A and B are shown apart, each in its own frame.
Chain A
Amino acid sequence: SQTIHQWPATLVQPVGSPLSLECTVEGTSNPNLYWYRQAAGRGLQLLFYSVGIGQISSEVPQNLSASRPQDRQFILSSKKLLLSDSGFYLCAWSMGQRNSPLHFGNGTRLTVT
């Protein structure tokens, strides 16, 4: 069966520090991968998605970037964190068809101080 791992679970970082969140998927090949952010009271916002290695699409302009160095690895990064980057970050995968559900990791709670 497929599993998705996301770490760390919680992170407290000072403003201006770098960020690296990692997500890996097991049990499937060539998945579509996604990074969502969930801010309090604002629902889920799609940040990036990837349909293959090295292929990244950004949904919103922001201080973050994403990379996919391997088929089942998705990384969310920032060179300098802002206070507004605080939130709950969720990685997800799907088979990429219109009727495919997203399968989510357990999320990372990021607090920028």
Chain B
Amino acid sequence: AQSVTQLGSHVSVSEGALVLLRCNYSSSVPPYLFWYVQYPNQGLQLLLKYTSAATLVKGINGFEAEFKKSETSFHLTKPSAHMSDAAEYFCAVTKGSSNTGKLIFGQGTTLQVKP
């Protein structure tokens, strides 16, 4: 079975500071992992995905994430936070081994960026 745990439901950083959002996963099969961002009253937008090609994955808006199998982690980082990064972020893992395309999502982390 697969599961995702996002550590910290709320993270607050100052503008220009490092952003680190934590995600740990559990999977009985090789995982495919995703990060999404959601702005208020909008759908989820794909930030980046890990599909086993490279462990360090670069995404949109300056975000990147590193897949660490030994730590079962896929943490999201950005060197310098912008006010526009304030949003909710979701980590997700592919559910199961079949090709249904279903994802299991973490509970989300709300990122606050202070001026």
Q: What is the interface of chain A, defined by CB distance below 8 A to chain B?
A: 6, 32, 34, 42-44, 46, 49, 51, 88, 90, 92, 94-107, 109
Contact = CB atoms under 8 A, between A and B. Distances in A.
Which of B49, B92, B102 has the most C-beta atoms of chain A within 10 angstroms of its own C-beta?
B102
Given A98-B97, A99-B32, A107-B42, A49 B102 contact: yes
Nearest to B34: A101
B43 interface: yes
Q: Is the interface of B mostly helix, strand, loop or mixed?
A: loop
Contacts of B105: 43-44
Interface residues of B, number: 26
Contact of A99 (B36, B45, B51): B51
Given A46-B102, A96-B99, 13 more contacts: A6-B43, A34-B102, A42-B107, A43-B106, A88-B41, A90-B44, A92-B44, A98-B98, A99-B49, A99-B94, A101-B49, A102-B101, A109-B41
Interface of B: 32, 34, 36, 41-46, 49, 51-52, 90, 92, 94, 97-103, 105-108
A98 B41 contact: no
Given A95-B101, A101-B34, A101-B49, A90 B43 contact: yes
A101 B97 contact: no
Contacts of B52: 99
Contact of B108 (A43, A101, A109): A43
